């Protein structure tokens, strides 16, 4: 199951790649704009941090299929390593996904709000489909149910396409999509860090260390030559 960073902030990406088993980084125009840097320079910075073997997901900006295809080819030409082109699941986007499939360019259909949008994108040749879990909830829908039903469609009909769920406000939503069949999640840095957060874990670690120190007077296994028994 993929764990992908949803950010273009270099410092956040560096920290998360250092500590977590990260599979890639996903961006979109809004995320890029926040960093106030040249678009291509920023993508190359991200590539330098994550290496060529992790996937970098980059979104197109135009609306017409022919223009989306040209943007996709431009991105593939300019950005090294494994690149997946993100394309909104509009009618023009679906047409672009079909064309890019014939060119051997991998795509992610984004802005998915219904299982049938995901089905059409998968059938068009998208490598990934990305349901927006929390945004669906905000529209009085059920983001987890969309992931569950989309998983059933892709599995039952044996599509060569994975669900990379996005748009989360808390860890519970991440848990729910994991147990309901998502093949991966793309998460903001703070949510990734919270995957390991639990007060009992911190309390247990403190107790272990305190017990050891009270008995042996050292706080590391590397100091055992100094232990007096």
pLDDT in tens, 18-59: 999 999 999 999 999 999 999 999 999 999 999 999 999 999
Are residues 153 and 212 located together in one domain of the fold? no
Considering the domain architecture, whether residues 206 and 191 belong to the same structural domain is answered as no
Which range marks the domain in which residue 213 is found? 200-229
Task: Tell whether 224 and 189 lie within a shared domain.
Answer: no
Q: Do 186 and 209 lie in a common domain?
A: no
Same domain, 133 and 224: no
Average pLDDT, the chain: 95
Stretch 137-164: mean pLDDT: 97
Q: What is the pTM of this model?
A: 0.93
User: How many whole angstroms separate alpha carbon 168 and alpha carbon 134?
Assistant: 5
Which residue among the candidates 86, 95, 101, 228 is catalytic per the annotation? Answer: 86
Instruction: Provide the number of structural domains found in the chain.
Output: 2
State whether 152 and 206 are in the same domain: no
Query: In the chain, which ranges are continuous DSSP H helix?
Result: 10-19, 29-35, 39-50, 65-78, 91-102, 115-124, 133-138, 143-156, 171-179, 189-194, 199-216
Same domain, 110 and 37: yes
**Does 86 qualify as catalytic in the annotation?**
yes
Asked whether 31 and 9 are in contact (CB, 8 A), the reply is: no
Taking only the tens place, the pLDDT of each residue in 184-208 is 999 999 999 999 988 899 899 999 9
pLDDT at 229: 55
Predicted pLDDT at 219: 81
Mean pLDDT of 55-83: 98
Confidence (pLDDT) at 32: 96
> Is 204 found in the same domain as 96?
no
């Amino acid at each position: 199951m993929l764990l992908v960073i949803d950010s273009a902030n270099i410092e956040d990406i560096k920290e998360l790649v250092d500590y977590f088993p990260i599979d890639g980084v996903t961006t979109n125009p809004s995320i890029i704009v926040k960093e106030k840097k040249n678009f291509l320079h920023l993508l190359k910075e991200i590539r330098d941090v994550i290496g060529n073997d992790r996937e970098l997901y980059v979104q197109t900006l135009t609306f017409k299929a022919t223009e989306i295809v040209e943007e996709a080819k431009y991105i593939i030409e300019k950005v090294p390593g494994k690149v997946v082109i993100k394309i909104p699941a509009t009618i023009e986007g679906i047409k672009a996904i079909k064309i890019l499939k014939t060119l051997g360019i991998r795509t992610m259909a984004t802005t998915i709000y219904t299982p049938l949008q995901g089905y059409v994108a998968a059938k068009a040749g998208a490598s990934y489909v990305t349901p927006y879990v929390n945004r669906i909830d905000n529209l009085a829908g059920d983001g987890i149910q969309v992931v569950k039903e989309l998983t059933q469609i892709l599995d039952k009909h044996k599509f060569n396409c994975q669900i990379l769920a996005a748009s989360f406000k808390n860890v519970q939503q991440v848990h729910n999509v994991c147990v309901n069949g998502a093949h991966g999640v793309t998460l903001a840095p703070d949510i990734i860090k919270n995957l390991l957060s639990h007060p009992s874990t911190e309390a247990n670690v403190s107790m272990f260390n305190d017990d050891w120190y009270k008995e042996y007077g050292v706080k590391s296994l590397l100091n055992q030559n100094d232990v007096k028994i």
